[in-house]
Amino acid sequence: MDNYSEGDKPPSPLWVSNHGMVFFLLSFSSLNIGILIAILAIILLIFASALISGSEVAYFSLNPKQLKELKEEKTPKADRILELLKKPDYLLATILIGNNLFNIALILCSNYVVDELMDFKAYPWVETLVKVGLITAILVLFGEILPKLYASRYNKKLAYATALPIKGMSKIFAPIAHFLVNSTQFIERRARKNNSDLDMKEIGAVIDLVAENSPNKGHNKEQMDMLKGIMEFHNISVAQIQKARVNVKAVDKESSFGELLELVEGYSYSRLPVYEEDLDHIKGVVYAKDLLAYLHEGRDFDWHHLIKDNLLFVPENKKVDDMLQEFKERKVHLAVVVDEYGGTTGIVTLEDVLERVVGEIQDEYDESQLKPTKISDGIYTFGAETLLVDLCKFYKIELNTFDKVRGESGSLGGLLLEIQGRFPDLHEDIEFEDFTFAVTQKTTNRIEKVKVTYYGDKKVYRTG
């Protein structure tokens, strides 16, 4: 039997338990309301940061099959997801803005709680370790790694869960997101503009170097030229490759069937634009193959039902790669090029676009007189309608060589008019950088032939 007096008896387990709980409650209640709110806010902010961070992976990892399922589902949640994905730049900007705001708020709250509960006067380095190391670890683990791992496995489920809050955030943060997206696009355009020429030069130089050192130079030349054509594809505008208005072969809608057949036979084109009054009012296209079934008809046969009105009108500054994509989507081979006032400046065909990559496509109907005539090394006679793009490729110089003086012109004849500001005289020398041009044949209002002397290849030397 233990010799304890009544006053010396040890406390019972129940007494210890009860008083421990009381001590804990007293300690907890000693925290001011500000700290309690901050702790609660930290928990909520970690959860919010995890959701918003994981949603970035969830939305942008949805595969085509899942997107198809969302389209077929036709529920409010699915519609919200699809609507957000229509503008991926704005979606990403909204997610990043929200994530950064949550993280900043989490850091501020954590810093406040640590300062209130701990005293680091004796060991200041511990304060840095706790505030930086601990908070960073929490953010990285619970705000980035774990939610993104979860999102990579359950992307569709997380996209459902975050669709409504992100939709709301996209409206709240719309002005900031709009500013961020547009400023980013502006910087990208400027960077692309400043670096594209340098990149093309470097790539072109590499291609030339490979071709020069290849054991099969002649065999690989066409492949190398095609590679260079692909690299230059996005820098060429429709205006630079179009068939100019004066060279467009078209048929008046008022022409008889007999006149139409004569034009088709004379021009040897598979399709002809059809206009009313003039080329500024092109109404459609007639296909030569469609006329075959009606060759037995008389000259007065009404052929107007054969006109196809699925015309494609494009601006002069449209890029060739975009033009090719539009040809594919619209399933047409001919487009009318128009200026800012809607007037026809020329036409461009699928063949014109493809020739930028594969080189000149010659058939039995192509006019051989359009090829340059060699006078001597570096000196050739070109047709005035020769495209400046082709002239640059012929002399193996940069495609933008004449950009600062050509204005809106895409042909050799137009270039001379832009440089002189008037109609050049016959055999008048017109100089520009390493070139000397001289008109060798013209009519009253049109340049027809131009002699081009190029000094850049070191085979021709200036004489004064």
Tally of CB atoms within 10 A around 134: 12
What sign for the dihedral angle of Cα 318, 323, 325, 331? Answer: positive
What is the spatial distance between Cα 16 and Cα 37, in angstroms, rounded to a whole number?
A: 31
pLDDT for position 88: 84
Sites in the chain below the pLDDT cut of 70: 1-31, 120, 122, 188-235, 356-370, 408, 457-464
Structure confidence at residue 18 (pLDDT): 45
Please compute Rg for the chain using Cα positions.
37
Q: What is the pLDDT of residues 235-288, one digit of tens each?
A: 677 777 777 777 788 888 888 888 888 888 777 777 888 888 888 888 888 888
pLDDT in tens, 358-374: 555 555 444 444 578 88
The Cα–Cα gap between 314 and 253 comes to: 22
The confidence score (pLDDT) of residue 25 equals 38
Identify the residue whose tokens are 């338990």.
17
For 361, other C-beta atoms within 10 Å of its C-beta total 10
Query: Residue for token digits 């054969």?
Result: 306
Pairing of strands 271-276, 278-287: antiparallel
Residues 6+ apart with CB under 8 A from 287: 270, 271, 306, 308
Measure Cα distances from 434 to 84, 291, 395, 458 in Å. 54, 50, 11, 10
DSSP string spanning 373-440?
Answer: EEEETTEEEEETT-BHHHHHHHHT--TTTTHHHHTT--BHHHHHHHHHSSPPPBT-EEEETTEEEEEE
Decide if 205 contacts 212 (C-beta within 8 A): no
Distance (Å, whole) CA 425 – CA 439: 7
Position 30 scores a pLDDT of: 47
What pLDDT score does 15 carry? 38
Place of tokens 């975050």: 162
Please name every residue paired with 282 in a beta bridge, in sequence order, or none if there are none: 275
3-state secondary structure at position 154: coil
Instruction: Say what the pLDDT of residue 26 is.
Output: 38
Report d(CA 398, CA 172) in Å as an integer. 48
Residues 86-144: pLDDT tens digits? 888 888 888 888 888 888 888 888 888 877 777 767 677 777 777 777 778 877 888 78
pLDDT of res. 204: 54
